[in-house]
């Protein structure tokens, strides 16, 4: 058992026992779903299905249904892709990087953050696939022996790096998540009364035993997967940024992109975690496990990464002038003062100013304010990608090609649809899966639980 | 005398650990421990060796790196060298920078999945397997030590005597 400083706020509030933790996490799964869940699920499903409809229409008709034109050949699809991948960065960061740093507060949020990651990466992966127009030849991105020559995919291209990065990230995150879930499924399995539920959770829990050797392996696998996933998290968004940085378009061709994209990804990912968890802790009465201290820690991460992003914006502006390249300088001037100034303004306000408010202890410990900022940040991060992509493309070198982008209803439908699908998946997760990592929470109860910290013999053995 | 398995149940990980220490010091061989979460420090007491899965992950990673290197050299240098903006593509080394991202990703892919599959196979935990724990409460808040009479020189009575003062809450015996 690990002890920690007495002045550190306990991570588990109240007088919980091991059994209470099991009860608290399993009750929402075993009870009937509240009416609100059905309402939310219904809305999310309808929106999601509308998105699926738009995608089917797009596949049937062609990519021409998007509002693209001869100048702007990449618009909402890539914006949404980068936005979703960015959101998908918090989960693995929380579970892998914070595991290596032995941050115990991660244990209350890692399970649902990882679920969010996986669903967000699903949504992200959708965009490159549908933008091929012909989904059924999607396997052409893999180096498979073929009858064209044989013609291989181009391993020099960042777009192919993306294929490998995203698919590795998705599958490794999924495995990491599931390996942590197995012991918790076993807990639900052993409590289940209804035969169907018992059968389902037996299948899902893989016959988990909880014997000492298995836990020994479990901890090793978690540690090694965390070690592997840590550089993976950083590589994925770096590679996404290479899609732009390796091109020669003014505004994209910058070396600052990889670190700046990674910081932005963590920034938006944590914001999405806040949005979801602030609702979830209330709806599922998990206030004892996810409380103000957790929210504060996450807000500090948002503040730090937000500051990195802000610094990167300013650095970019300075370098565009300092480089002496007139096209580069113009691209940035046009961003701030051109026809897309409003998007630039939204991005600056949401991403640079709003996280700075977290310096105030009162604000970063306020749940309502956090919820508000988390939404603001995600709007801002969408605009960041929109600004980078749109403003760099819409003014070609040739002024006669200058153009604006107006999203078509299908553009909007697909985007809104992915949000619906994302929430559909997340609501299903919250309904049927253990939303807290039971086994991990139990292992910190004696070290970080309130009742244990307050007991007089807590520091006896020190 | 029939061989028996004795399951001794505790309701606290600390009590189980102290109990296990006491029993081991009396020369009892403990076959296994079941718990709802990893009990740190139990492995050396009951003689569970540290897993070698980490070494396997390294080997899988190395295999992935090799496969990626061999594959990309074949696709991009040997079989169909592509001229992209006049960039050199005569040897793998000339073009190695472009191959770094995928080499890394593929290494991680193979290490992670190889390790996860090995982990599941070694544990014999696969979809649909029946539960292996002796009591359903061991995944909630109870902790169980497993002692086999066949592995111990003492007879059942002596074992019972020694187990008695470890602070257990329940004891269960099964013939095997």
Q: B45 to chain A: which residues are within 8 Å by CB?
A: none
For B32-60, the pLDDT digits (tens) are 888 888 888 888 888 888 888 889 999 99
Cα A58 to chain centroid, rounded: 26
> Is residue A13 a part of any domain in this protein?
no
Residues B90 and B118 in one domain: yes
- Of chain A, the percentage scoring pLDDT greater than 90 comes to 33
Q: What chain B residue is nearest to A156 in terms of C-alpha separation?
A: B98
* Separation between Cα atoms, residue A439 and residue A26, nearest integer Å: 13
**Residue B66 pLDDT grade (very low, low, confident, very high; cuts 50, 70, 90):** very high
> Is residue A278 a part of any domain in this protein?
yes
| Residue A225 to chain B, least CA–CA distance (Å) | 6
Residues B71 and B110 in one domain: yes
Q: A239 to chain B: which residues are within 8 Å by CB?
A: 101, 105
Residues B146 and B107 in one domain: no
* Separation between Cα atoms, residue A115 and residue A94, nearest integer Å: 12
For A123-162, the pLDDT digits (tens) are 998 998 888 888 888 888 888 888 777 788 888 888 899 9
Q: Do the Cβ atoms of B102 and A208 come within 8 Å?
A: no
**A40 has pLDDT over 70:** yes
For A297-323, the pLDDT digits (tens) are 999 999 999 999 999 999 999 998 998
**Residue A32 pLDDT grade (very low, low, confident, very high; cuts 50, 70, 90):** confident
Structure tokens at A215: 């836990």
The more confidently predicted of residues A181 and A149 is A181
Q: Least CB-CB distance to B34: which of A152, A205, A209?
A: A209
Q: What is the ipTM of this complex?
A: 0.89
- Number of structural domains found in chain A: 1
* Separation between Cα atoms, residue A229 and residue B111, nearest integer Å: 11
The whole-number average pLDDT for the span A8-34 is: 83
- Of chain B, the percentage scoring pLDDT greater than 70 comes to 99
* Separation between Cα atoms, residue A317 and residue A329, nearest integer Å: 8
A225: CATH: 1.20.1630.10
Residue ranges of E strands in A115-219: none
The more confidently predicted of residues A53 and B163 is A53
Q: Do the Cβ atoms of B105 and A208 come within 8 Å?
A: no
CA torsion, ordered B11, B16, B22, B28, to nearest 10 deg: 110
> Is residue A145 a part of any domain in this protein?
no
Beta bridge partners of B143: B10
> Is residue A146 a part of any domain in this protein?
no
> Is residue A11 a part of any domain in this protein?
no
Residues B110 and B148 in one domain: no
Residues B117 and B140 in one domain: no
Q: Specify the pLDDT at position A42.
A: 94
Cα A263 to chain centroid, rounded: 12
Range of the domain at A306: 18-134+153-453
Q: Least CB-CB distance to A232: which of B99, B108, B124?
A: B108
Q: Specify the pLDDT at position A456.
A: 66
Q: A160 to chain B: which residues are within 8 Å by CB?
A: 102
Range of the domain at B87: 53-123
For A205-261, the pLDDT digits (tens) are 888 888 888 899 998 999 899 889 889 989 998 999 998 998 888 888 888 999 989
Residues B61 and B77 in one domain: yes
Cβ of residue B88 closer than 8 Å to a chain A Cβ: no
For A91-108, the pLDDT digits (tens) are 888 888 888 888 888 888
Q: Least CB-CB distance to A235: which of B37, B43, B104?
A: B104
**A67 has pLDDT over 80:** yes
Domain stops at, among B80, B95, B123: B123
CA–CA distance from A56 to each of A50, A65, A137, A325, B75 (Å)?
10, 11, 15, 44, 34
Q: Specify the pLDDT at position A462.
A: 43
Cα angle for residues A327, A333, A335 (degrees, 5° grid)? 105
Q: B104 to chain A: which residues are within 8 Å by CB?
A: 231, 235
CB within 8 Å of A460: residues ≥ 6 apart: none
**A2 has pLDDT over 70:** no
* Separation between Cα atoms, residue A182 and residue A185, nearest integer Å: 5
- Number of structural domains found in chain B: 2
Provide the 10 A C-beta neighbour count for residue A229: 27
Q: Do the Cβ atoms of A154 and B106 come within 8 Å?
A: no
The whole-number average pLDDT for the span A415-436 is: 92
Ordered DSSP codes for A60-96 = HH-GGGSS--SS--S-HHHHHHHHHHHHTTHHHIIII
Q: Do the Cβ atoms of B105 and A165 come within 8 Å?
A: yes
Residues B94 and B58 in one domain: yes
Residues B86 and B111 in one domain: yes
Provide the 10 A C-beta neighbour count for residue A203: 15
The whole-number average pLDDT for the span B8-21 is: 84
């Amino acid at each position: 058992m690990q002890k920690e400083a007495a002045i550190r706020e306990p991570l588990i509030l109240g007088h919980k026992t091991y059994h209470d933790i099991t009860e608290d996490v399993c009750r929402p799964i075993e009870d009937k779903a509240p009416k609100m869940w059905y309402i939310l699920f219904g809305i999310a499903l309808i929106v999601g299905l509308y998105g699926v409809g738009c995608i089917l229409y797009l596949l049937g008709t062609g990519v021409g249904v998007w509002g693209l034109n001869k100048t702007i050949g990449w618009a909402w699809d890539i914006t949404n892709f980068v936005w979703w991948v960015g959101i998908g960065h918090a989960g693995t960061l929380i579970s892998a990087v914070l595991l290596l740093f032995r941050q115990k507060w991660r244990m209350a949020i890692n399970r649902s953050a990882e679920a969010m990651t996986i669903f967000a990466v699903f949504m992200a992966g959708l965009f490159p696939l549908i933008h091929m127009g012909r989904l059924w030849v999607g396997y052409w991105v893999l180096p498979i022996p073929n009858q064209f020559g044989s013609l291989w995919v181009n391993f020099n291209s960042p777009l192919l790096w993306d294929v490998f990065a995203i698919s590795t990230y998705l599958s490794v995150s999924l495995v990491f998540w599931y390996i942590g879930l197995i012991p918790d499924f076993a807990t639900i399995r052993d409590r289940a009364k209804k035969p169907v539920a018992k059968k389902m959770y037996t299948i899902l829990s893989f016959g988990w035993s909880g014997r000492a050797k298995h836990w020994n392996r479990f901890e090793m696998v978690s540690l090694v997967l965390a070690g592997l996933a840590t550089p993976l998290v950083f590589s994925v968004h770096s590679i996404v940024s290479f899609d732009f940085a390796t091109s020669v378009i003014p505004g994209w061709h910058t070396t600052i992109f990889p670190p700046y994209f990674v910081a932005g990804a963590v920034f938006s990912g944590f914001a999405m975690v806040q949005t979801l968890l602030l609702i979830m802790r209330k709806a599922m009465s998990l206030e004892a496990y996810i409380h103000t201290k957790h929210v504060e820690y996450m807000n500090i991460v948002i503040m730090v990464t937000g500051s990195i992003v802000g610094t990167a914006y300013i650095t970019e502006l300075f370098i565009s002038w300092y480089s002496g390249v007139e096209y580069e300088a113009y691209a940035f001037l046009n961003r701030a003062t051109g026809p897309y100034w409003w998007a630039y303004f939204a991005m600056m306000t949401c991403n640079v100013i709003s996280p700075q408010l977290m310096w105030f202890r009162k604000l970063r410990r306020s749940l309502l304010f956090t919820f508000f900022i988390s939404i603001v940040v995600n709007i801002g991060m969408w605009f960041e990608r929109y600004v980078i992509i749109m403003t760099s493309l819409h003014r070609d070198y040739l002024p006669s090609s200058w153009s604006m982008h107006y999203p078509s209803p299908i553009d909007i439908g697909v985007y809104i649809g992915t949000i619906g699908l994302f929430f559909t998946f997340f609501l299903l997760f919250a309904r049927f899966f253990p939303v807290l990592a039971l086994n991990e929470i139990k292992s910190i109860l004696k070290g970080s639980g309130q009742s244990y910290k307050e007991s007089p013999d807590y520091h006896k053995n020190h | 005398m029939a061989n028996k398995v004795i399951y001794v149940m505790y309701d606290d990980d600390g009590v189980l650990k102290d109990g296990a220490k006491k029993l081991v010091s009396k020369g009892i061989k403990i076959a296994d421990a079941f718990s709802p979460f990893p009990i740190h420090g139990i492995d050396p007491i009951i003689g569970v060796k540290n897993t070698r899965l980490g070494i396997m992950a390294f080997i899988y990673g190395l295999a992935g790196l090799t496969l990626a290197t061999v594959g990309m050299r074949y696709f991009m240098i040997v079989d169909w060298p592509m001229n992209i903006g006049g960039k050199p593509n005569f040897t793998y080394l000339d073009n190695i920078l472009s191959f770094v991202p995928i080499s890394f990703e593929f290494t991680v892919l193979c290490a992670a999945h190889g390790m996860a599959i090995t982990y599941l196979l070694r544990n014999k935990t696969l979809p649909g397997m029946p539960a292996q724990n002796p009591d359903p409460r061991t995944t909630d808040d109870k902790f169980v030590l497993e002692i086999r009479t066949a592995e111990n020189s003492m007879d059942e009575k002596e074992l019972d005597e020694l187990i008695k003062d470890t602070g257990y809450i329940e004891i269960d015996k099964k013939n095997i």
